[in-house]
Amino acid sequence: MIGLLRAALVIARRDFTAVVFSRAFIFFLLGPMLPILLGLAFGGMGSRIASTDMRPVIGVALPVDQAEGMERAYLALARRPGAAPLPKLLRIPALSQPRAVLARPDAGVTVVLSGSLDRPELTGKADDIDRVGSDVALLAALARTGDAFRLTPVTRHEIAASASGEGQGREVVGRAAQLIIFLLTMLLAGMVLSNLVEEKTNKIIEILAAAVPVDAIFLGKLLAMLAMSFVGILFWTSGGFALLLLVAGPGAHLPAPAVGWPAFLILAILYFAMAYTLLGSLFLGIGGQASTVREVQTLSMPVTMGQMLVFFFATFAAEHPGGWAEMGARLFPFSSPFAMIASAAESPALWPHLLALGWQALWVALLIRAGVLMFRRHVLKSGGPRRRLFSRAKG
């Protein structure tokens, strides 16, 4: 066993240095960040346009005192924190004809408000009136109070924590952790396939198989890709944390999971490692049977679709705790990491995670062993049909 681990570490060090110290790895690290940065930039631009520049403009054709009342009401409502943006108000002469104003290209208004505060009248296109009708009704109702209009002061009674709010926050943290682990697993596990197929094409795998046990080759490649994944995750996490501080500010905080942040982060790393090695060992078995990239894509597509179904099953189980779905998601090896990380966010118990990690590690060993036997039988053409699953590997 010690010799097998030593040989696996040699293979892992070889693959890790070959991947990490290459130019392509730099582009691999930058690749996922560029779409995110572009999405944030365009998303911020779109929200700015939607909230400010594209707001409808209401031409206020009311007497001076009533127009001033509308403006006071507008300023009072616009100062609310987190309030939805109100349509802009633009005062126009009170005797203006609404249809004539809207017919001018340089008028700069979308809808014209006329009549009085008691009976406001809106002139414009039907969809524009629908967009601003409720806002105009609210502003007119507040403006009718005149100078007596004041926002009612609210007395604050602050508490340190809310059980209901903490429960919802922990649920959000658990769902986010599930999604992040799933995306990282699907993004990074496919590299195991391409690595193995490339070495099979170059006949390097046969040289390695003659020098070390095939079990060590599979385990070493899995460990190398896992270590490479942690390098990428460290890089992306540092960039994401810096971006979060830049956008949200230093005072922003996330709801604390039930097991606490230190234990939750450790469990998240372990469950990602288990999810990655489970899927990676399955991909290794597939890559051992494929000889071309086209065959790899054909064989890996059902596994990818199945992994998406597994993720949806784990999220369904997290939304229905205490039922058969949660127990099934925890026992099924491919959904167990996603189900257990959600449980870590909502339940403070730690002993179920020790059992789950042991159960998942057992299935990793089974999948690696099955992939090795299939590789020997179909690629190296060695090993009879009576070879046992846990027979001792020979060098």
- Tens digit of each residue's pLDDT (9 = 90 or more) over 345-389: 988 899 999 999 999 999 988 988 887 787 777 656 544 444 444
Are 90 and 7 part of one and the same domain?
no
Range(s) of the domain holding residue 108: 56-148
Does 392 fall in a domain? Answer: no
Sheet containing strand 111-115, strands side by side:
88-91, 57-60, 111-115, 120-123
pLDDT exceeds 50 at position 25: yes
pLDDT exceeds 70 at position 41: no
Does 39 fall in a domain? Answer: no
Q: Which domain-ending residue is among 99, 116, 148?
A: 148
The band of 394, judged by pLDDT with boundaries at 50, 70 and 90, is very low
**What pLDDT score does 309 carry?**
92
pLDDT exceeds 90 at position 306: no
Contact in structure between 285 and 374 (CB atoms under 8 Å): yes
Contact in structure between 214 and 387 (CB atoms under 8 Å): no
Q: Please choose, from the candidates 108, 124, 118, 137, the residue with its C-alpha nearest in 3D space to the C-alpha of residue 66.
A: 118
pLDDT exceeds 60 at position 46: no
Please state, in angstroms and rounded to a whole number, the distance separating the CA atoms of residues 50 and 44. Answer: 10
Domain count along the chain: 2
The DSSP secondary structure of 327-357, one letter per residue, reads: HHHHHSTTTHHHHHHHHHHH----HHHHHHH
DSSP 8-class letter at 104: S
pLDDT digits (tens, 9 = 90+) for 82-138: 556 788 889 988 878 888 888 888 888 889 999 888 889 999 999 889 988 888 888
Are 111 and 179 part of one and the same domain?
no
Are 143 and 174 part of one and the same domain?
no
- Name, in order, each residue with C-beta under 8 angstroms of 7's C-beta and a sequence gap of 6 or more: 212, 213, 216, 220
Which of 158 and 97 is assigned the larger pLDDT?
97
Are 22 and 125 part of one and the same domain?
no
Contact in structure between 270 and 357 (CB atoms under 8 Å): yes
Does 386 fall in a domain? Answer: no
**What pLDDT score does 390 carry?**
46
Please state, in angstroms and rounded to a whole number, the distance separating the CA atoms of residues 20 and 254. Answer: 32
Are 275 and 366 part of one and the same domain?
yes
The band of 239, judged by pLDDT with boundaries at 50, 70 and 90, is confident
Are 172 and 249 part of one and the same domain?
yes
Summary mean pLDDT of the chain: 79
Please state, in angstroms and rounded to a whole number, the distance separating the CA atoms of residues 135 and 149. Answer: 17
Over pLDDT 90: what percentage of the chain? 15
Please state, in angstroms and rounded to a whole number, the distance separating the CA atoms of residues 93 and 137. Answer: 21
Residue 173, classified by CB atoms within 10 Å of its CB into exposed (0-12), middle (13-18) or buried (19+), is buried
Pairs from 94-99 (Cβ < 8 Å, separation ≥ 24) = 94/61, 94/62, 94/63, 94/64, 94/67, 95/61, 96/59, 96/61, 98/59, 98/61, 98/123, 99/123
The band of 47, judged by pLDDT with boundaries at 50, 70 and 90, is low
Phi, psi of 291 (to 5 degrees): -115, -15
Does 76 fall in a domain? Answer: yes
Highest mean pLDDT among 163-172, 189-198, 322-331, 368-377: 322-331
The band of 328, judged by pLDDT with boundaries at 50, 70 and 90, is very high
**What pLDDT score does 393 carry?**
47
The band of 217, judged by pLDDT with boundaries at 50, 70 and 90, is confident
pLDDT exceeds 90 at position 160: no
Does 157 fall in a domain? Answer: no
Are 260 and 329 part of one and the same domain?
yes
pLDDT exceeds 60 at position 200: yes
Does 348 fall in a domain? Answer: yes
Over pLDDT 70: what percentage of the chain? 74
Are 199 and 114 part of one and the same domain?
no
Contact in structure between 282 and 369 (CB atoms under 8 Å): no
Are 180 and 303 part of one and the same domain?
yes
Are 263 and 356 part of one and the same domain?
yes
| Helix or strand holding residue 121 (H, E) | strand 120-123
The band of 279, judged by pLDDT with boundaries at 50, 70 and 90, is confident
Does 38 fall in a domain? Answer: no
Please tell me the pTM assigned to this model: 0.69
Are 72 and 206 part of one and the same domain?
no
Contact in structure between 212 and 303 (CB atoms under 8 Å): no
Are 180 and 76 part of one and the same domain?
no
Contact in structure between 279 and 303 (CB atoms under 8 Å): yes
Strand partners, 111: 58
Does 154 fall in a domain? Answer: no
